[in-house]
Chain A
Amino acid sequence: MTELAKQTTATKTTELATLRPLVTIIEEESGFTLTAELPGVPKENVKVQVENHILTLEGEILLQIPEQMESTHAEVSTAKYKRAFTLSRELDSSKIEASQSDGVLTLHIPKAEHAQPRKIEVQVG
């Protein structure tokens, strides 16, 4: 079953462009929290990488598809998610934490310590 599902998604992937996962992005003093929807993607098929300050999220859907199934209607028409974000330089990409549950990927991207906000006192001369 799993093997078959793998084959089905593999052939689909080459057909069309990728899906754009929907996200929520929140910035706090300590860093960013990015939540991305990757329904149908098992943990081992999620890829998160940072290169040249570009954060790329990728995931490949793996569904339990019975033998002989023909698709009759598809709103999710390709099996691969991909989306990239530019990170600003004050973020510490080596300390990104990732977790996943029920098809939702959560990333915490901390700010480098020296980049955390400081209140600047205005001196009155």
Chain B
Amino acid sequence: MYSTLFNFSDDLFNELENLQRHWVGRNILSNIRPVARGSFPAINLGSTPNSVEVYAFVPGVDAKSLDIQIDKNLLTLQGERVLELPKEDSKLTVYAQERFSGKFKRVITLPDDVDVSKVSATYKEGVLHISIQRREEAQAKRIEIQ
């Protein structure tokens, strides 16, 4: 019933976030596989000289139901989160339902030098952390001068 109101406020918050990002001067490049802001799950990516780190914010799911696949340099994360909402009746009212419910899928492009055989994934406090090692020959090496 109030969904339009909630959507409105969500957009407003996104707008504010965009403005903030503008002020802070952070520029995020657009991806060929763009996602709408507020997509589920939110994903953060990080990079170290030896690995690529993926953090997916997927609270309240059974870790076993998460399906992670890496094909060449495409990482696909999919799963389903079913929120069991009680039925509304004269004794029960649902005032807000902002949480995502249903099937989700996100595809992330990884750098070319990842080694898909060296992947680890952990799920803790609602965050799925996937760490993918880079191939050794791609890592910068210090060359000793004889």
A and B, one complex? yes
B86–A39 contact, CB under 8 A?
no
**Interface residue tally for chain B (C-beta within 8 Å):** 47
In contact, A39 and B125 (Cβ under 8 angstroms):
yes
Contact A25 B94 (CB under 8 A): yes
B98 pairs with A71, CB closer than 8 A = no
A103: which B residues are within 8 A, CB to CB?
A: 57-60, 125-127
Number of residues on chain A facing chain B (CB within 8 A) = 38
Q: Are B20 and A72 in contact (CB under 8 A)?
A: no
In the complex the two chains form, is A40's CB within 8 Å of B127's CB? yes
Chain A interface main SS type = loop
Q: Answer yes or no: A92 CB below 8 A from chain B CBs.
A: no
Q: Which residues 26-44 of A sit at the B interface, judged by CB distance below 8 A?
A: 26-29, 35, 37-42
Contact, CB under 8 Å: B126 / A104: yes
- Contact digits for B91-102, partner A, Cβ 8 Å, 1 yes 0 no: 111111111100
In chain B between 79 and 125, which residues have their CB closer than 8 angstroms to a CB of chain A?
A: 83, 85-86, 91-100, 122-125
Among candidates A40, A41, A67, residue contacting B48 with C-beta atoms closer than 8 Å? A67
Are the C-beta atoms of B47 and A70 separated by less than 8 Å?
yes
Interface flags, A37-64, vs B, CB<8A=1, else 0? 1111110000000000000000000011
Name the distance in Å between B30's Cβ and chain A's nearest Cβ: 11
Note all chain A residues with C-beta closer than 8 A to B86: 26
User: Contact partner of A41 among B16, B17, B92, B125, CB < 8 A?
Assistant: B125
Is A66 touching B48 in the complex (CB atoms < 8 A)?
yes
In the complex, chain A residues whose CB is within 8 Å of the CB of B16? 17
Chain B residues, Cβ within 8 Å of A24: 83, 85, 94, 96-99
Closest to B94 in A: A26
B24–A15 CB distance below 8 A = yes
Q: A39-B57, A39-B59 are in contact. Are A72 and B47 (CB under 8 A)?
A: yes
Enumerate chain A interface residues (CB-CB to B < 8 A). Answer: 15-17, 20, 22-29, 35, 37-42, 63-77, 101-104
Q: List 24 A-B contacts (CB under 8 A).
A: A15-B24, A23-B98, A24-B97, A26-B86, A26-B93, A26-B94, A27-B93, A29-B91, A37-B99, A39-B127, A63-B55, A64-B129, A66-B51, A68-B48, A69-B46, A71-B45, A72-B46, A74-B44, A75-B42, A77-B17, A77-B21, A101-B60, A103-B59, A103-B125
- Residues in chain B within 8 A of chain A (CB atoms): 13, 16-17, 20-21, 24, 26, 28, 37, 39, 42-49, 51, 53, 55, 57-61, 83, 85-86, 91-100, 122-127, 129, 131
Known: A24-B85, A39-B59, A66-B51. 5 other contacts (CB 8 A): A37-B59, A40-B57, A69-B53, A74-B28, A103-B125
